[in-house]
Amino acid sequence: MSSFTLDDFSDLIERPDGGLRGDAEERRERQDVPPEALGRLDELAGWLSAAQSAVPVRTVERPKVVLFAGDHGVAGLEVSARPAGSADALVRGVLDGSRPVAVLARRLGVPVRVVDVALDCEPDTLPDEVVRHRVRRGSGRIDIEDALTAGEAEAAFRVGMTVADQEVDSGTDLMVLGDLSVGGTTAAAALIAALCGTDASVVTGRGGSPIDDLAWMRKCAAVRDSLRRARPVLGDQLRLLATVGGADLAAVTGFLLQCAVRRTPVILDGVVSAACALVGQRVAFRAPDWWLAGHDSGEPAQAKALDRMAIEPLLTQGVRVGEGTGALLALPLVQAAAALSAELPVRDEPPVRDDMPVHD
């Protein structure tokens, strides 16, 4: 895009190849294991074939966890179990390998990339590769002020696009998306309430570190007040992100849309990535065809957003911790679907051996 306009995404994003999906389903009918015997794995394999434009499907060899990090001013209202401005502690936990997503990624052999877009800490306290894309220090308190200026919202959105391009260009074949934030679920709930025309109490959940009833009431009030500010700007998605989103949410939205432009599938995590996906759907209605929902976190706003996009979660394990953990748990399921589709014997074709390529 030479000049920045979200309208371009509608033209740039195409659906996955439906014809190839039909070919994949026909091939599946000729495998010795009956299609119904593998349940939803067949659906996943067909989706991957369409996304890759490949029959048989290519196995997922180079997935990557990408986490966007930021603090939110609304956390100062004590709407989170974590203190305001402490998302950098989550980042350090990922970097030193002590957070759940880091443990799982290490076990699965998946690299993790952390992108600081709006952490509320001194940049020199974190590695340069983490902080180099920072747009601002924290996002504004969305119940009374905009999260970002218009220029900051555009800059953050472009950060997400840049990260998507970097990852695709480096060979990443599937993105596992997550966020590291304090106050992010409040902003996500406000976005989803605005886009779904829903009251604050319907979408406000307890967050990744569950809060007590008083904190939940404060969170409901913050979402309600943010929702009033969001409604007048619903027709402009970038302005909506600037008003009641945040730098990390704007970056995630840009990342999701650019991944769709680059025909690269993404596994969504919890309510934050679901909110950004819903904004992305408003920008380009074909974009959700490139995204999977890794899991059902139990957050009501996530369920509302996924239902609006007609995306069914792969797992229901009640994982609320965020940071891409639930999305990463779903990765082996996606890899299993690809491997079974590619390697199960097909009648009238030679069997696939470990030393044979499964595609041209």
Tell me which long-range contacts 344-351 makes (C-beta under 8 A, separation of at least 24): 344/31, 344/32, 344/33, 345/31, 345/32, 346/27, 346/30, 346/31, 347/30, 347/31, 347/32, 348/30, 349/30
Active-site pick, 25, 323, 343, 349: 323
Give the DSSP letter string of 214-283: HHHHHHHHHHHHHHHHHGGGTT-HHHHHHHHT-HHHHHHHHHHHHHHHTT--EEE-SHHHHHHHHHHHHH
Facing residues of 174 across strands? 63
Residues 6+ apart with CB under 8 A from 236: none
Residues 82, 83, 85, CA angle at the centre, nearest 5°?
115
Q: Does the active-site annotation cover 323?
A: yes
Distances (CA, A) of 156 to 114, 233, 238: 15, 18, 10
Residues assigned a catalytic role:
323
